[in-house]
Amino acid sequence: MKKILLFSGFLLLLVQQSFAQQLTSKTYDNLGKLHNQALDNFNANFKDRQPTSVDDAVNYVNSFINDFYQGSSLNSTEKGLAVANNNKFKYFISENDFYNYISTSSSSITGMSANAKTSIDALNKEFSIDPLKGAYGQLLNSCVSKGIMDTYEQQKLVEIETFIYGNKNGTITIDQFENKLTTIAREFDGKNYQITGNTGHTLAASLAIGINSVDWWKRNNSLYTTTTKTKGKGPNGYEIDEASLVLPWVAADVGGAIIGATVGAISSYAGSGRVSGTSVGIGAVAGAVVASTGAAGKLGRAIFSLFS
C-alpha cells in the first residue's frame, strides 16, 4: 500500500511539473493585465496639448508611455526592454499608417518626418522587412523559417489577421473578435506547447493581450462611443448596435501585440539561439500599447490631430 501511495505521489508530481511547464493562453496573462493598466493610465493621467510638429506629438506620447513602464511592477530588465521596444515602435501611434505598414507596404511612414523615416527604416533593416510588402506576413514567415513558429501557430495568426482588418473596418464586432480569440485559446491550450520551447510564444502572448483587451474595451466602451445610437450591418447582413460596431481598437491592440511579439521572438533567438518568453511578452505589450494608444488617442485629443 505504501508503494502504491509513493507511486501515486510520484505521478502527481510529474503531472504538476508537466503542467507548470506548459505554455498556455494564460501564461502571459499578467502582461495582458499590464497592457490594460497602461490604457487605464492613459485615460486617467494623459494631459493633452497642441503639438508643434509630428515629432513633437510622437515624442510627447512616447515619453508618457515610458514613464508608465518605469513606474510599473516590471523588474529592471523588463523595464529596459519595454522602453527600448516603445522607442522602436513609437511611430505606430499613427493609426492608419500602422495598418498600412502591417498590411500593404512597410515603407517609411508616408507624410511624416525624416525622423519617422529613420525609425521605420531601421526597424525594417533589423528584421529584414521588404518595404514594398506588408510587415505582418513577412514577420510570420521569418519566424517559421527560423523554426521559432510552427505552421499551426502561423495559421492561427493569419486567421486573426483577417479579424484585425474586419474589426478595424467595422465588419467584425468586438463580440465576434472575442469569440475568435477564445476559440483559438481553447485549441492552443490543448496543443501542449512548452514554456521552454521555441514555438508558441507569439500566439500565446497575442491571445493573452487580445483577450484582456476585449475585456477592457467592453468595460470602458462609454468613453469611446457617441451618444447617437445608429445601426450597422454585420458581415452576414444582420443589424448590430453601435456599441458592438464602434470598438475597433481591439484590432490595434492585437495587431500591435503580434508585431511586437514576433520582433521579440526573432531578436532573442538571434542573440542566444533560444526564444525568450520575456522578450516576446514585453515586445507584445509594447507593440499593443503604442498601437492602441494611437487608435484611441485620435478621439478628441489635440496631440493626435496631425495623424491621418
Cell of 277: 518568453
User: Does residue 124 carry a pLDDT above 60?
Assistant: yes
Mean pLDDT of 43-68: 92
139: nearest Cα among 131, 129, 147, 148: 129
Cβ distance 38 to 65 under 8 Å? yes
User: Does residue 94 carry a pLDDT above 70?
Assistant: yes
Sign of the Cα torsion 59, 73, 291, 152 reads positive
Cβ distance 131 to 108 under 8 Å? yes
Helix or strand run (H / E) with residue 12: helix 2-21
pLDDT tens digits for range 232-286: 443 333 344 444 444 667 898 999 999 999 999 999 999 999 999 999 999 999 9
Spatial separation of the C-alpha atoms in residues 123 and 100, rounded to whole Å: 15
Predicted pLDDT at 244: 46
Residue with cell 508616408: 110
- Taking phi first (over 0 means left), then psi (-120 to 50 degrees means alpha), and beta for anything else, what does residue 173 get? beta
